[in-house]
Amino acid sequence: MWAISILKHQSDEIKKGAFMNGLSSVFNLLAYIAAAVFVLGFLNKVVLYFKTPSPLKIPTTPAPKTSMGVVVRLIPEVLFFRSLLKGGAAEKILWLGGWVFHVSFLLIILRHLRFFTYPVPGFVMSFQQIGIWAGLVFPLALLILIVRRFLNDRLVTITLFADYFVLGLIITIGLTGLLLKYFARTNLVDVKAFILGLLTLSPVQIPDSPMFLIHFSLVLILLVYFPFSKLMHAWGILISPTRAQVDNPQEVRHVTPWAQ
Amino acid sequence: MPTMEFEGKTYEVDEEGYLMDWSLWAEGIAGEMAKQDSLELTDAHWDVIRFLREYFEKYQIAPMIKILTKELAKKYGKEKGNTKYLYELYPAGPAKQACRYAGLPKPTGCV
Amino acid sequence: MADFKVPELTGEIITPKVTLGATSGIKPFPANEELMGKVGFPAKKSADWKVKFLAKMGEILKKYKSVRVFLDICVRCGACTDKCHYYLSTGDPRNMPVYRQELMRSVYRKYFTTSGKLFGNLAAARELSDELLEEWITYFYQCSECRRCSVFCPYGIDTAEITMAAREILDSIGIGSKYNLAIINKAETIGNNLGMGGPALRNTLDFVEEEIQEKTGVDVKLPLDVEGADILLVTPSADFFAEPHIFSLEGYAKVFHQAGVSWTLSSHASEGGNFGMFIGNYDHMKTINGRIWKAARDLKVKRVIAGECGHAWRVLYSFSNTLHGPFDFLDPNYRVPQHICDYTLDLVKKGAIKLDKAANDDFSVTFHDSCNVARASRIGNEPGGQFTIPRELINAACNKFVDMAEETIGERTFCCGGGGGVLTDELIEVRVKGAMPRMQALKRVKDSNGVNFFALICAICKAQFTKIFPYYGIEMEEVGGIHQLVGNAIVLGAKEGV
C-alpha cells in the first residue's frame, strides 16, 4: 500500500513540476515582454515628445530667465509638487495623499532592489527598514487618493474608469506585497533566484506561491499599462513647455523648423 | 439671415438687428427700431443719429464717444455733453442703440 | 438689466456645486460664409467635416508639443476644477479646465491612441458627432485663455493651448466666431481691430490734442506716421475710440511730450492687439504682428513701445522675436519692444518727468493684474516685473493704493471674464458671471479702503469692466488705465533745473 501511495505522491510531484516549469516559461516570457513594452513604449513617447516642436515661447510666468533657473524651478515641482501647494484645502489633502504615495512607492522600489542585486549594495540595505514602513503607509496614501474621488462632486464628475483602474491596480500591488511579507510568506531565496535569473537572461523556476504570482502579474500589467496612460506624467512634468521653457524671448530668438 | 420690415420693404439685419448695408438706411428705419424698443425719439436723439451718419459717411467708422458728447455739449450745453446724458438718451448704450438706429454697423474690437 | 441672475456681491468666492449644462446654451455668433472666406477658412461645414477635423487635429498634434503632451499627461487630479472664473461663477462642469479639455481629450483617445481605438467607451473615447461639435463651439468659447488653471496644475497644463487648438480646428472645418474673425479681417485689411482708417485716426488724434490743450493749456501733439521719429507707439485701437481707454492715450502723449522725445503712431500698425492668437492661428497672428515691424522699418524708428493691452503685450513680448525677429534694425540699448509702464517708470525714476500725486487724491486705487501680462509675459528685467513695475508706477502717481486679496492678484489673478476673444455681447451672461471672483475681491477693498479707481493695463479688461460694473451696481467711471492716473499727475511745462 505504501508503495502505491509513494508512487502517487511522486506522480503528483512530477505533474506539479511540469506545471511549474510551464508556468515559469510563461511568466519568464511575459516578464520580458512587459519589460520590453515598458522600456520601448516609454522611450517611444520620450522621442515623440522630443520631436514635437514648441513653436512659441509659452512659459507660465513669472518664469526663470536661464536654463539653470528652469532646473531650479523644476526641482521643487518634481520633489515637492510645488504648484499643488498653491491650491486650497482640497489640494492639501491631494498633496498629502499624492506625495506620501509617490515617496513611499520610491522607497518600496529601493527596498525591492535587494531582489535585483547580488551582492546587495550597502545603500539598498539601508532602505530595508524604511521600506517596510513605506509599504505600510503606501495603501493608506492610495486610499486617500481613491476616497477623495468619491467625496467631491467635481472629482466625481471628472474621474474616469482609467483613474479607478490604475489606483486599484497599484493598491492591489501594495496589498499583495504586504500579504507576501506578513501572511503568505514566500521563500525569498526562490524570489531572488527568479529575479536574478530574469536579469541574467538565464531564467529559472518561478517561486511556488500563488500570492507571489498575483503580485508579480499585477506589476507586469502596470509596466505594460504605463507608457500608454496618464502615468506618462512622470516624464511630462520634466518637459511641459509651460514649466520647462526659459523666459528669454527677447534675448534669444526662439525658432522651430515649421514656424519661421 | 434675419430681416426687418419697413414700409413694405425687407432689410437684411444681423443677429443683433444692425442693418447689413448702412447705405440702405432711411430715417423711418430709426423710428421703427425705436418703436420696437418703446423709445420715443426726441430732437436730441435725432441729433445723435444725424451726427453719427455724417461722421460715418466721412470716415467709414462711428466717432468715439468723446467726439459725440462734445458735439452734444456744443448744442445743448456742458451739463448735457457727457456720457451720462448719452446713456439717458440711449439706455442700451450709444454703440448698441444709437449706431443701430443710425443704420451703422456695430463698432467691435476691445471696446 | 439682465435676463439672468447677476451674482451677489458678498466679498466671498464660494465654489459652487456642479450643475450640468448651466451655460450650455451660450454660444458665439457664427461667422457667415463671406467672412469665413475673407480670412481664408472654408465657408461652411461640409459633408466630410470629420475628415478635415481629424486631419487638422493630427497636424496640430505634430506641430505643438504643448497640445500633445498636455493631452497625454493629465492625471485628472482635480486641482484645476475650482480655479476657473467661469466654473466658480456658473457651476457648469464643462467650465472646469480638466473637463473642458476632456472635450478634446476624448476625441484624442478615440482617434489618436491605442487604448482608445481598442477599448472605446471604457477608455473614455468619444466619436465625432454634431452633438460633440456643439459642445466644442459652446465651451471652447467660454474659455478666456487666461492660464490661471496652468498655475495650479502640477504639470503646468495650460487650457489656453487646448482652447486655441480647438478653435483652430473649428475654423478649419468652416465654423468660426463672427466677433473674432471680423476683428482679424479688419486688423489685416485696415490696420486695426476697429476698422478705423487713417483719416478717422488723424481726426481722433486731433480731437485728443484739442482736449489736452483745453484741459491743460499745453500743446501736446499726437503724431501719426512721422518718418524718422525715435519711438513707435503701438497701442490697442480701443485707445483711439473707447472710454476710459482714450484717457490712457492722453497719458502716453503727455509722457512723451514731457520727456521731450520724438515719437509717432502708425496708421498701418494702429493696433497692438492680435486676435490671431485667440483663435490659435499661427498665420493670422504672424500677419497681424508683421504690420508692426513693417511700420517700424518704414518709419525708421529706433524703438518700439507697447501701450496698455494685455494679450498684445504677450504677442509682442513673447512671440514677436520668433514671428518677425531679429530686430537688429532697432536700437539694441532698449528692450524690443518695451512696455509703456516700464518706459514711464524709468523716466520717473530718472527724474525726467515729475508726477504730482496730489492730483489723484480723489482716488483710492487698486490694481487688477491682467492675465496675459501676469501669466504669459514679463515687464522689465526681472521675473515678476509685470507685478512690481505697474504697482510702482501707480504708487508714483497717487497717494492711496491698496492691493486686493493676495490669492486674487499676481500670478493667481482672476480674469476679467472677457479675455481671449470672449468680449462680445452674445456671451454677456458668461462675461458678467465670469467677472464674479474679481468683483468679490474688489468688493472687499471697496469696503475696507473705499477703492474707487480700478487701474488696468489691458484694453479688453477696460472694455469688459466698463460694461459689467453697472451689472454689479458700480459706476463704470471707476475703471481706468494706469496712464490715466499718470496723465492726471504729470507736471507739464518747463522742467525744473533744466
C40: CATH: 1.10.1060
Whether residue C339 contacts residue C305, with contact meaning beta carbons closer than 8 Å, is answered with: yes
CA distance C307 to chain A (A): 18
Instruction: Check whether residue C344 and residue C476 sit in a common domain.
Output: yes
A192-200 mean pLDDT? 95
Q: C19 touching A, CB under 8 A?
A: no
Instruction: Check whether residue C168 and residue C191 sit in a common domain.
Output: no
- Kindly state whether residue A251 falls inside one of the protein's structural domains: no
CA-CA-CA-CA torsion for C73, A229, A138, A94, nearest 10 degrees?
30
CA distance C460 to chain B (A): 5
Instruction: Check whether residue C254 and residue C373 sit in a common domain.
Output: yes
Q: Tell me the residue range of the domain where A148 lies.
A: 2-244
Check CB contact under 8 Å for A56 and C318: yes
Instruction: Check whether residue C143 and residue C196 sit in a common domain.
Output: no
CATH number of the B3-101 domain: 1.10.10.370
Of A53, A61, A94, the CB nearest to C375: A61
Which residues on adjacent β-strands are paired with residue C481? Answer: C456
- Kindly state whether residue A45 falls inside one of the protein's structural domains: yes
Amino acid at position C389, single letter: I
CA distance A198 to chain C (A): 28
- Kindly state whether residue C412 falls inside one of the protein's structural domains: no
- Kindly state whether residue C424 falls inside one of the protein's structural domains: no
Check CB contact under 8 Å for A154 and C152: no
Instruction: Check whether residue C136 and residue C61 sit in a common domain.
Output: yes
Chains B and A touch, using 3 or more CB pairs below 8 Å: no
Q: Which of C153, C176, C199 is the last residue of a domain?
A: C176
- Kindly state whether residue C313 falls inside one of the protein's structural domains: yes
Chain B adjacent subunits, 3+ CB pairs under 8 A: C
Instruction: Check whether residue C321 and residue C465 sit in a common domain.
Output: yes
CA distance C49 to chain B (A): 23
Looking at residue C317, the DSSP 8-state letter turns out to be: I
Three cell numbers at A31?
516578464
Of B14, B59, B109, the CB nearest to C203: B59
Check CB contact under 8 Å for C182 and B64: no
How far apart are alpha carbons B57 and C40 in whole angstroms?
29
The pLDDT assigned to C498 comes to 42
Instruction: Check whether residue C333 and residue C198 sit in a common domain.
Output: yes
CA distance A43 to chain C (A): 14
Check CB contact under 8 Å for C197 and B110: no
Cα–Cα nearest to C166, from C113, C121, C105, C228: C105
CA distance A115 to chain C (A): 31
Looking at residue B97, the DSSP 8-state letter turns out to be: I
Chain C: residue whose CA lies nearest to A64: C383
**Weakest mean pLDDT among A211-225, B82-96, C347-361:** B82-96
Check CB contact under 8 Å for C192 and B64: no
The tally of domains found in chain A comes to 1
Check CB contact under 8 Å for C179 and B83: no
Q: Which residues of C touch A247 (CB under 8 A)?
A: 378, 383
Q: C118 touching A, CB under 8 A?
A: no
How far apart are alpha carbons C246 and B3 in whole angstroms?
35
CA distance A93 to chain C (A): 11
Share of chain A above pLDDT 90, in %: 88
Q: Domain residue spans in chain B?
A: 3-101
Instruction: Check whether residue C339 and residue C227 sit in a common domain.
Output: yes
* Strand blocks (E) in C106-229: none
Q: B20 touching C, CB under 8 A?
A: no
Whether residue A204 contacts residue A198, with contact meaning beta carbons closer than 8 Å, is answered with: no
50-89 in chain B: CB under 8 A from chain C = 58-61, 63-67, 70, 83
- Kindly state whether residue C226 falls inside one of the protein's structural domains: yes
How far apart are alpha carbons C371 and A60 in whole angstroms?
11
Of B60, B108, B110, the CB nearest to C460: B110
Which residues on adjacent β-strands are paired with residue C263? Answer: C231
Q: Which residues of C touch A141 (CB under 8 A)?
A: none
- Mean pLDDT score of chain B: 91
Cα–Cα nearest to C82, from A147, A82, A86, A58: A86
Chain C: residue whose CA lies nearest to A55: C64
Of B61, B96, B109, the CB nearest to C200: B61
Check CB contact under 8 Å for B110 and C238: yes
Q: C215 touching A, CB under 8 A?
A: no
28-57 in chain B: CB under 8 A from chain C = none
Q: Phi-psi bin for C326: left (phi > 0), alpha (psi -120 to 50), beta?
A: beta
DSSP H or E segment with residue C482: helix C482-489
Q: Tell me the residue range of the domain where C114 lies.
A: 33-176
Q: B96 touching C, CB under 8 A?
A: yes
How far apart are alpha carbons C345 and A31 in whole angstroms?
65
The pLDDT assigned to C1 comes to 58
The pLDDT assigned to C497 comes to 43
Res. B11 pLDDT band, cuts 50 70 90: very high
Residue with cell 449706431: B99
The tally of domains found in chain C comes to 2
Check CB contact under 8 Å for B60 and C197: yes
Bridge-based pairing state of the strands C453-456 and C479-481: parallel
Interface-testing mutation among A58, A65, A221, A251, with chain C (most C C-beta atoms within 10 A): A58
SS3 C304: strand
Whether residue A75 contacts residue A259, with contact meaning beta carbons closer than 8 Å, is answered with: no
- CATH number of the domain to which A199 belongs: 1.20.950.20
The pLDDT assigned to C195 comes to 94
- Triad C294, A53, C59: Cα angle to 5°: 90
Residue with cell 530668438: A253
Residue with cell 504639470: C155
Of C124, C317, C374, the CB nearest to A161: C124
Q: Could you list the mean pLDDT of each consecutive 10-residue stretch along chain C, which spans 498 residues?
A: 89 97 97 97 97 98 98 98 98 98 97 89 92 98 98 98 98 98 97 95 97 95 98 97 95 98 97 98 98 98 98 98 96 96 98 97 98 98 97 98 98 98 97 98 98 98 96 96 98 69
The pLDDT assigned to C187 comes to 97
Check CB contact under 8 Å for B66 and C462: no
Instruction: Check whether residue C190 and residue C172 sit in a common domain.
Output: no
Res. A5 pLDDT band, cuts 50 70 90: low
Would the ipTM clear 0.90, i.e. be above it?
yes
Res. A4 pLDDT band, cuts 50 70 90: low
Q: Which residues of A touch C374 (CB under 8 A)?
A: 61
Interface-testing mutation among A240, A243, A251, with chain C (most C C-beta atoms within 10 A): A240
Instruction: Check whether residue C300 and residue C378 sit in a common domain.
Output: yes
- Kindly state whether residue A258 falls inside one of the protein's structural domains: no
Of C93, C154, C322, the CB nearest to A84: C154
- Kindly state whether residue C66 falls inside one of the protein's structural domains: yes
The pLDDT assigned to A195 comes to 96
Share of chain B above pLDDT 70, in %: 100
B98-102 mean pLDDT? 95
Catalytic residues of B: 110
159-188 in chain C: CB under 8 A from chain A = 161
Interface-testing mutation among C241, C275, C311, C460, with chain B (most B C-beta atoms within 10 A): C241
In this predicted structure, the answer to whether residue A1 has a pLDDT above a threshold of 60 is no
- Kindly state whether residue C233 falls inside one of the protein's structural domains: yes
Of C147, C156, C318, the CB nearest to A243: C156
Q: Which of C144, C176, C208 is the last residue of a domain?
A: C176
- Kindly state whether residue C408 falls inside one of the protein's structural domains: no
CA distance B92 to chain C (A): 9
- Triad A19, A22, A27: Cα angle to 5°: 120
Of C61, C102, C378, the CB nearest to A62: C378
- Kindly state whether residue A185 falls inside one of the protein's structural domains: yes
Chain C: residue whose CA lies nearest to A61: C375
- Kindly state whether residue C443 falls inside one of the protein's structural domains: no
